[in-house]
Chain A
Amino acid sequence: MIGALARTPAALRNFGNSQLATLIGILIAAFGIVLTIQHVLQHDASFFFQILTIGIADGAIYALIALGYTMVYGIIELINFAHGDVFTLGAFISLALFPVFGIAEGASGFSYVLPLLAVGLITMALCAVVNVAIERVAYRPLRHAPRLAPLITAIGMSSILEGAMYLWKGPFNLHYPDLLPLTRLNIGAVSIGVKDLIVLTLAIVLVVAFTLFINLSKLGKAMRATAQDRDAAQLMGIDINRTIAATFFIGAVLAGAGGITYGLYINSVAFDLGFITGLIAFTAAVFGGIGNIPGAAIGGLLIGMVRAFSDSYFDSSWTEIVIFGILIATLVFRPTGLLGMRVPEK
């Protein structure tokens, strides 16, 4: 195959895998880091740690969403555009469930932990059901159709979900109850919000549980096998449809949890929130190496930090340009992502 491609300029063809590309990529990253450090040094240290915790908490939410993208892409090579909207759906469903469980603005204390947990579980289950239904209706019938067909239905499904939430709650920003404690822990000069810690802990618990599930359970093994080679997996007796449905189920559980976490952390949601959040989480998945689960988690954290630093030390109107610039640079200089093991050319 390499011989057959001999007519294309070798330098261009192998650019992404060459040491030169790695070098240029490292130089660009180093430039960004030096620039950031220079700006960081102009402010005091406590501000830096405040931004850092915001970035990590934000990044933990992106990581939860990115896992769903990376799993679905890994298994059926589809950019599931509806995933970001499943995340928003999680926020919306939990918002509607709070009154049912007697949770209102200002509720605090440990008596609310159990109802909150119940809301969380119901939300995650409902999101998972919706996502599995989307897969069943819009993606499964097109598994042998031209590659672009499921992409278009994914966009259609995203539009339908956004439309349903628009119909449900209208076009405005909705207030999400502020339930997490606002106290801050002071360790020396560093002040860390308890809220940030809770979000981070929640994300870590979910990601670790999920990684263990993928690596240790039988279903997780089936998922990995299906992602590697669907036909061979089928020959080994794996029920492909069930495995893919399970992937969508688990992806949506994480996205639903992300939706609640986002609501509790940011306290404001809107029906079209999932669009840009989904794109950024997808960037995180690509940055970490698409199809790679720890990669998605680390990519999410890094993108969250990039976002927080760019917002507060530079100009927030350039943040999304920086993030999508990282997306392009990743694919140009290191197409496999930070931790990528999958080769882009199959």
Chain B
Amino acid sequence: MKRLREYVSENSRNPNVIAYAAMAIAALTFPGIAQFATGGNADYLVSLAADGGVFVLLAIGLNVVVGFAGLLDLGYAAFFAIGSYTYGMLASQQLISSPIHHALHVPFWIALFLGMFIAASAGALLGAPTLRLRGDYLAIVTLGFGEIVPRFFRNMKDWTSGVNGISALDVPTLPFWITGPWANTQLAIEQNFRFVTFNVTAWYVLIVILVVASVLGVNNLYGSRLGRAWMAVREDETAAAAMGVNTVNTKLLAFAIGASFSGFAGAFYGAKLSLVSPDSFGFIVSITILSMVVLGGMGNIPGAMIGALLLYWVLYKFLPDAPLQASSLAHNLGLDSLNTVTPNWPGIAEFVSRLKFIIFGLILVSIMLLRPQGLLPSRLRSAELKRGVHDEPVTMVT
């Protein structure tokens, strides 16, 4: 108890510790509070939060590539797609209609790691010939790769059902599971538990566990010899090489480890949605994840997580809800004329929904202009930013 008190007093001003604590408390209490606040109809919110967890995982993974090793990846969604499709093909009836005529039903827990492994291999394969290129050239290669992969899956109709995507994926199973009031039921132990789609709390718990495990893993990597090598390569590749860092292997590992998180998240995402479609992995997804990392604070794990949660909320809750909110606001203010549709005025709801691109763009531009280092920057890096040489930005991806 005394040590806890000491820890609290020592770290009460450390933004990272505060961020972790806030996120942990929020993650633990969210389903309960949401059920209570909505009177037991919180399934939609909890499901949304579980999907948000996928983006947190993606942001943690991309933070390894962009934040730690300083490699700009503009096609991160490609590995997400590879993870999803791996799960989709290995854990559904899909392969019956493929040229091998035999369905595979690999258990979720194994497929999760298979997705991770295959995405990491794809990352290594792409990285090996291209990581010797410096700076933006790598970004351009990843951009091209990110454009190719979803189109490839869409065109391989015999294997992936093309535009229709793969549906009815297997769900994870566990020998037993504990349910309770947080999931709006009686406290009980369920035998042979299946993660059915409507049991959103189970998915939520699973993603929280995956995120916690990933944070612990990445934190350890950050402090390890490899993590220090990443930062050395990021700051000055030539100096790092002179100090005995194998720069190609270091960058390759960052790239592959980053890709593996994406594959991991992809397998979970496919299983939860029970649908894998080539439309969910476009350039806009890569850009969204990159924006999450940069907005949150590159190179800082809690920063990337907060950036992911914030941007996810804006994109998937605030903007979709905004038209209805605006419409009811207009009604409450007595401005019902705004809700009537005329040839020149599409109605306030439609108008606000058409504003979504502008709002998203304004958020990106204004946060970058006001806080180019991100909301919760790495302390080490912000020190460098203040004292660093100005004409050679420390985060320059050279």
Residue numbers of A with Cβ under 8 A of B are: 1, 4-5, 7-9, 12-13, 15-16, 73, 77, 79, 137-138, 141-142, 144-153, 155-164, 166-167, 170, 231, 275, 279, 282-283, 286, 315, 317-318, 320-321, 324-325, 327-328, 331-332, 335, 344-346
Contacts and interface: CB of A to CB of B under 8 A. Distances in A.
Nearest to A81: B287
13 contacts: A1-B238, A7-B244, A8-B246, A145-B393, A153-B369, A160-B358, A163-B354, A283-B144, A321-B148, A327-B141, A331-B133, A331-B141, A332-B129
Nearest to B394: A146
Contact of B369 (A1, A138, A160, A328): A138
A186 B363 CA distance: 55
A244 to B, nearest CB: 15
A331 B294 contact: no
B143 interface: yes
B364 A12 contact: no
A77 B136 contact: yes
Given A155-B287, A331-B137, A144 B393 contact: yes
Contacts of A142: 368-369, 372
Contacts of A137: 365
Contact of B248 (A13, A147, A160, A346): A13
A79 B139 CA distance: 10
Contacts of B363: 156
Interface residues of B, number: 65
A331 B249 CA distance: 20
B238 A160 contact: no
B390 A144 contact: yes
A223 B159 CA distance: 51
Interface string B228-248: 000000000010011011111
Interface centre among A7, A166, A279, A282 (most CB of B within 10 A): A7
A331 B147 contact: no
Interface of B: 66, 72, 128-130, 132-137, 139-141, 143-145, 147-148, 151-152, 154-155, 238, 241-242, 244-249, 283, 287, 290-291, 294-295, 298, 351, 354-365, 368-369, 372-373, 385, 390-391, 393-398
Contacts of A153: 364-365, 368-369
Contacts of B128: 12
Nearest to B75: A324
Given A4-B242, A8-B248, A166-B354, A317 B132 contact: no
Contact of A12 (B132, B136, B298, B358): B132
Given A146-B298, A146-B393, A332-B141, 18 more contacts: A4-B241, A5-B241, A7-B244, A15-B129, A146-B373, A146-B395, A147-B396, A149-B294, A155-B287, A156-B361, A160-B357, A163-B360, A279-B147, A318-B155, A327-B144, A328-B144, A328-B145, A331-B133
Which secondary structure characterizes the binding site on chain B? helix
Given A148-B294, A160-B358, A324 B393 contact: no
Contacts of A147: 393, 395-397
A161 B362 CA distance: 10
Given A16-B133, A146-B385, A138 B365 contact: yes
A8 B128 CA distance: 12
Contacts of A148: 66, 72, 290, 294, 298, 395, 397
User: A-B pairs with the 10 shortest C-beta distances?
Assistant: A163-B357, A156-B364, A159-B361, A160-B361, A163-B358, A146-B395, A145-B372, A156-B365, A327-B144, A324-B144
Contacts of A318: 151, 155
A317 B291 contact: no
Contacts of A7: 241, 244-247
A142 B361 CA distance: 16
A231 B392 CA distance: 12
A240 to B, nearest CB: 12
Given A16-B133, A332-B130, A5 B355 contact: no
